[in-house]
Amino acid sequence: MPVNSLNFSNVVMLKNYLITPATTDANNFDVYQLDHKDSYEITRVITSFNGYKLVNNNGITDDYGGRNDLGIIMKMLVIDNILYVGYESGDLLALNIDFEPPIIITKANDAPSTGKLSAFLKQSKTVINRDPKITLVDHINIHAPNPIISLSHSNNHIIAGSTTNKLSLDHDILKLNNSGIQSILPTHKVLLIGYWNGIIEGYSDNQCVFTNKRQLPRVNILDSNKGNAKQENSLLVKLTFMVSRDKIESKAVSKYSIKQKFTDQELVFVGFEDGTIYVYIVS
C-alpha cells in the first residue's frame, strides 16, 4: 500500500476503511477498504481526494496566500464517524463520507430449467459499484494561516492546536500561556496541554490550574576574565508524546501488568526527547 511517508500526518480508521495521505500528493488523502473474510484484501475506493476543491465548491472563497490549496495534511481524527482533517494552512475540515453499498441486480433467465441447480445457473447477476460521497460538515479556520499540529476531542467536540498559543474548541478560542501545542489530552479532571518546549499545563474551566516541566541540570561556568563562576540558564527537556490509560478492573490485571495499586487510577504517560517516559497519576 503506497503512502506518502514524507508527511506529518497520521493515518486513521473509519469503520473498515483506512484513510491515509495520498500516494502522490500530500495535500490530499486516499481511502482503502479493508476486507478480511478469508484473507486480507485491500481496495482503494477514494483516490487523492482534494479538500480545497470541496471547500471552494461550497462557496467559501478565503484567501490562502495565493497558493490555491490548503497545504499538506497535518493531522486527522475520526469522531462519531466524521473525519476531521487539519491542514498546513490552518484550516480544519469536518467531512462525512457516505460509503454507499453496491447495487446488485439479479435477473432470471426465461428459458425452462430442469432443476434447482439449473435454475440457479440460469440467473444473471449485475453488481453496480457506487463511489463514496464526501460532504463538508464544518469548516473551522480559526488557526489560519498557522498549521494544525494537534487534534483531540472531548464529548464529541473537536479540539485543535497549532504553532501559536490558540486552542480551538469547535469554533471557540482559548488562548494559552505558551505556543506550539504539540499534544492535547483530555482527562476526567483536566485538559492537559503539552507544548513543543516541554511544558505541560492543565486547564479546568478555561483556566490554567497547574504547570509541569522538566529542566536539564544547571551548569556552573567559570568566567575567565573575572575569575568568578556564573550559572548557565537551564534548558527544558522537550516533549514527544502524551497518552492516557483509563482505570481498569483489578481482576483484569495480570502479575506482569502495572502494579495493582495503580489500576484504579487514571495514568498519563509522557515521553521526552531524551528517551525517558514519565508516568503521572490524574487525581
Which tens digit of pLDDT belongs to each residue from 238-259? 988 899 877 655 555 455 455 5
Centre a 10 Å sphere on the Cβ of residue 217 and count the other Cβ atoms it contains.
Answer: 7
Grid coordinates representing 104 are 446488485
Ranges of each domain in the chain: 1-153
C-alpha pair distances (Å), 30 with each of 1, 21, 23, 49, 134:
11, 6, 7, 6, 12
**pLDDT range class, residue 131, cuts 50, 70, 90:** confident
- pLDDT for residue 151 is more than 60: yes
Give the pTM.
0.79
Residue bearing the bigger pLDDT, 228 or 236:
236
Centre a 10 Å sphere on the Cβ of residue 248 and count the other Cβ atoms it contains.
Answer: 16
* pLDDT at residue 258 in the model: 52
User: For residue 177, what are the contacts with CB-CB under 8 A and spacing of at least 6?
Assistant: 165, 201, 208, 211
* pLDDT at residue 105 in the model: 72
Tens of pLDDT, residues 49-105 = 999 999 988 655 555 555 678 999 999 999 999 999 999 999 999 999 998 776 767
